[in-house]
Structure formats: structure tokens, C-alpha cells
């Protein structure tokens, strides 16, 4: 009897063991299939990301002529700019890759830029060399200005005199004179759109970014579209009374002022007050920062920052101002030989450029936090503008209302908001009544923010 039971138990256990083995095998098979699916999905996603990072499929002729490097020179809303090298010579150029899907409703900007760049051939202007187009993108091959932005490079120099500033302004005017003779109005001249050809000591300065430019059908066309960069924009643009070539002359006046002291002549704690300052046309030369600058330089600036626009000189007339004859050698390219009383403007300029930039952002950030606090408590407030580059692609907000495009952000980065928090924590009062020209205020802000190294991403 016992033997029979043992046999029955063995039969039962054998069946269970076989069933368990089959279940384990099935589970392992399912797990293997899931792992294979996950691996395939991951590989497909990796391939998709790689293709996305590589961008759209390049034009075959472009790939045949040029080597596309991984060096990204810039990334914007509509385009990515990469360095490329001509295979036959090894010379570097800039490749602007513009995705067509980002240009919905904005194709006129691209048409304008291509139209202008294709016409321009001048040492002080970036030129279009070749154009390629695929179903997904447009590729513009242009001169490569490897020297970097105007102020970025100036602030790294060891010495910088009024003669150096005169040379730079002279080069800008030469480029603008050429553009105006071609009936092209740039409409967005500012330091960020002025690049050095290379990093040599006396590198040529080049005008770039013709996205807002306009080709006039006749020399005296009146333009009405409000565009440009607050701080450098002419008053007639803000008032929407019509504008033309003189807007570029005004912008050069602002740039010249800034090149000699490190800060712009017009400022407001928000966008409306900045615009009021520009429209008033009132500015001053603070003795502390302008005592070493010649009266001729101030006379030159005054001749450009005048209203109405008809009173401004043409680019050709501005080039004949005695400031250039005094500050530059006969070739009008080289600053006059240094003399004992030549003053290095760079220390004061660097201090003003860095400190005032930090101060203005701090004031705006503190104001932003206060408005956020007011909003959270249920109280209402007016719109808040940064007073910096508030261009929304190709428009600006004028007089508190949107002029085409969408309203821009307030121009405050995470870094700025953290700066405001630090300033509030330190108990500094940066209300609207505070004067940014007060050195004590500048020093206080610098002391608070000197160790702040948050990187905006």
C-alpha cells in the first residue's frame, strides 16, 4: 500500500514539476520579448534624437562643396548657425540653417534678408555667398566673422582710447553709407549686430543680421512698421510717424555714446519709461565718466541724436565730421599715434558696462518680484517691460500695445530673478526712485552679485 502511494506522489510531483518548468520557460520568453521590444524602442529613439540633432537632410551640392563642422556659432528662434569649411581651400564660412516649418507667417523676413544679403558686397558688411534649398530648410552661406561681438571683444582688451572708438564708429558709418547708397535701411543697428572679422588687434568690424532691413523702392520711402531694439531705436519709430534712413544714423549715435562710456544715453526702469526717455531726446554727459572725452566726440554724438530726423546728417556727411580727422591718421583707419595724454577709457567703460547692466537688471527683477507678490495678493498692476532687447522676432511693443507678432517676455533670466532675491535678502532698497547713477548703489549691487555664477540655459 505504501509503495502505491509513493508511486502516485511521484506521478503528481512529476506533473507539477513539468508544469512549473513550462511556466518558467513561458515567463522567460515573455521577458526576452519585452527586453527586445524595449531595446528596439530605445534604439529607434536614439536614432530619432541623433537625426533631430543633426537637423534636416542637407542639400547634396552643399555637402559636396563644404565640410559641415560641429561648431555651432549661434542658435535662434528661426535658425541655427554653424561653421563650415570650403573643401577646396579650407577657409571657414558661416552656414545659417533656417527650418521652413518655423517660418510660417514670417517668410517675408527671410525674403528680405536674402534680398539684402545678395546685394551687399562691402568690407564692413556680412555678405551672402551661396544659397541652397531643400523641402525642409533654406541654407545661407555667408562670411564668417570669427572675432565675436563688439563689446565682448572690447572688454577683453588691455587698452582702449577715444581714437579706437573713432575708428570703430568710422567703420560702422562706412558700412551704413554703402547700405544707404543701395537704398537699404538696416533698422536694427546695435552692438550685438556688429561683429569683428577676426580676433586680431585691429580687426575689421562688420554689420550683420539684416532680418529687419528694408530695401526702399525709392530713396525717400516712408516706412511705418515699428521695429528695432529698444535702447537703440529712433524716436520716430516709437511715435509711428514714419521713418527711413535717419533711423540708422540715430542708432550709430547711441552706439558711439556707449563706446565712449560703457552705458547708453537713454534708460528707463521699464519699457514705457525707456521710450519716454528716447522720445524726449534728453541725455547728458556725466562729468565723472566723460571728463577725458574730447568736445569733438560729444559734438559728433549731438549731431546724430537730434530731432526731427531731417536734421540728422547723412552717413556721408557724418563721415566728414572733424572728430574723425582729429582722431584718425590720414588713412582714416588707424588711430593717431598714442601721446602722453591719451587716456585709456577701458577701466571706466568696463565698470560702467558691467555694473550698470547688473544694476538695471536688478531693479527690474526686484520690480518683477514685487508685482508678482502684488498679483498673488489679488491686487492689479500695469504691464512690466525690461527696457532691454524686447524685440519679438521683428517687432517691438510700442506705447503699451502690441505692434505685430506676439508680446515678448520681460527679458529677465533665472539669474536675474535670483539676483533680485539676493538683493532683497541683503535689504537693499532698489525702488523706482533709486538713481542708478549713484556709485554707492552700483557698488552695493556689485558686492551682492559678485559671487553669483548661475548659468542661464
CA angle (302 as vertex; 177, 280 as ends), nearest 5: 110
Q: What is the pLDDT of residues 222-275, one digit of tens each?
A: 676 777 788 899 999 888 888 889 999 999 999 999 999 888 999 887 888 889
| Catalytic residue of the set 188, 248, 270, 416 | 188
**pLDDT confidence band for 299 (50 / 70 / 90):** very high
Would you say the pTM of this structure is higher than 0.75? Answer: no
Q: How many residues belong to the chain?
A: 457
How many C-beta atoms lie closer than 10 Å to residue 103's C-beta? 17
Task: Identify which of 380, 364, 343 has the alpha carbon closest to the alpha carbon of residue 419.
Answer: 364
Alpha helix positions (H), 73-149: 107-119
Better-scored residue on pLDDT, 405 or 314: 314
Q: Which domains does the chain have, with CATH numbers?
A: 60-142 (3.30.200.20), 148-344 (1.10.510.10), 354-449 (no CATH)
Helix (H, G, I), strand (E, B) or coil at 278: helix
Residues 289 and 270: their CA atoms lie apart, in Å, by 24
119 annotated ligand-binding residue: no
**Mind listing the pLDDT tens digit for each residue in 27-61?**
777 778 778 888 887 777 666 555 545 567 888 99
Measure the CA–CA gap between 251 and 231, rounded to whole angstroms.
Answer: 9
Catalytic site includes residue 438: no
For 56-92, the pLDDT digits (tens) are 788 899 999 999 999 988 777 778 889 999 999 999 9
Amino acid at each position: 500500500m505504501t509503495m502505491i502511494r509513493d508511486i502516485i506522489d511521484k506521478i503528481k510531483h512529476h506533473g507539477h514539476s513539468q508544469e512549473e518548468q513550462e511556466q518558467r520557460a513561458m515567463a522567460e520568453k515573455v521577458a526576452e520579448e519585452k527586453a527586445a521590444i524595449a531595446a528596439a524602442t530605445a534604439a529607434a529613439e536614439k536614432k530619432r534624437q541623433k537625426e533631430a540633432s543633426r537637423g534636416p537632410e542637407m542639400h547634396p551640392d552643399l555637402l559636396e562643396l563644404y565640410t559641415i563642422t560641429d561648431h555651432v556659432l549661434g542658435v535662434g528662434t528661426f535658425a541655427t548657425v554653424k561653421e563650415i569649411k570650403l573643401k577646396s581651400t579650407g577657409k571657414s564660412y558661416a552656414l545659417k540653417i533656417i527650418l521652413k516649418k518655423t517660418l510660417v507667417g514670417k517668410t517675408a523676413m527671410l525674403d528680405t534678408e536674402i534680398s539684402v544679403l545678395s546685394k551687399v558686397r562691402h568690407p564692413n558688411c556680412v555678405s551672402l555667398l551661396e544659397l541652397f534649398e531643400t523641402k525642409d530648410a533654406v541654407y545661407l552661406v555667408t562670411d564668417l566673422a570669427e572675432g565675436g561681438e563688439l563689446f565682448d571683444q572690447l572688454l577683453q582688451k588691455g587698452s582702449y582710447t577715444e581714437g579706437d572708438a573713432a575708428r570703430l564708429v568710422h567703420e560702422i558709418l562706412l558700412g551704413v553709407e554703402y547700405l544707404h547708397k543701395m537704398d537699404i535701411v538696416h533698422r536694427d543697428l546695435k552692438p550685438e549686430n556688429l561683429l569683428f572679422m577676426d580676433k586680431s588687434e585691429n580687426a575689421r568690424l562688420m554689420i550683420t543680421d539684416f532680418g529687419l532691413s528694408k530695401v526702399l523702392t525709392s530713396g525717400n520711402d516712408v516706412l511705418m512698421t515699428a521695429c528695432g531694439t529698444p535702447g537703440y531705436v529712433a524716436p520716430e519709430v516709437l511715435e509711428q510717424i514714419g521713418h527711413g534712413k535717419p533711423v540708422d544714423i540715430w542708432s550709430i549715435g547711441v552706439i558711439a555714446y556707449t563706446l565712449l562710456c560703457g552705458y547708453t544715453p537713454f534708460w528707463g526702469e521699464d519699457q514705457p519709461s525707456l521710450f519716454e526717455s528716447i522720445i524726449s531726446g534728453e541725455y547728458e554727459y556725466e562729468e565723472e565718466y566723460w571728463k577725458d572725452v574730447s568736445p569733438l566726440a560729444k559734438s559728433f554724438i549731438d549731431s546724430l541724436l537730434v530731432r526731427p530726423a531731417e536734421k540728422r546728417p547723412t552717413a556721408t556727411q557724418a563721415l566728414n565730421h572733424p572728430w574723425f580727422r582729429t582722431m584718425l591718421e590720414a588713412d582714416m583707419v588707424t588711430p593717431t599715434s598714442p601721446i602722453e595724454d591719451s587716456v585709456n577709457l577701458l577701466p571706466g567703460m568696463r565698470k560702467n558696462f558691467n555694473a550698470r547692466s547688473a544694476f538695471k537688471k536688478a531693479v527690474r527683477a526686484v520690480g518683477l518680484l514685487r508685482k508678482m507678490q502684488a498679483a498673488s495678493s489679488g491686487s492689479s498692476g500695469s504691464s512690466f517691460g525690461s527696457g532691454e532687447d524686447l524685440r519679438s522676432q521683428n517687432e517691438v511693443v510700442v506705447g503699451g500695445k502690441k505692434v505685430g507678432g506676439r508680446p515678448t517676455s520681460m527679458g529677465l533670466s533665472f539669474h536675474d530673478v535670483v539676483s533680485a532675491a539676493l538683493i532683497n535678502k541683503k535689504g537693499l532698497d532698489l525702488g523706482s526712485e533709486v538713481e542708478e547713477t549713484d556709485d554707492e548703489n552700483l557698488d552695493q549691487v556689485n558686492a551682492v552679485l559678485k559671487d553669483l555664477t548661475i548659468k542661464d540655459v
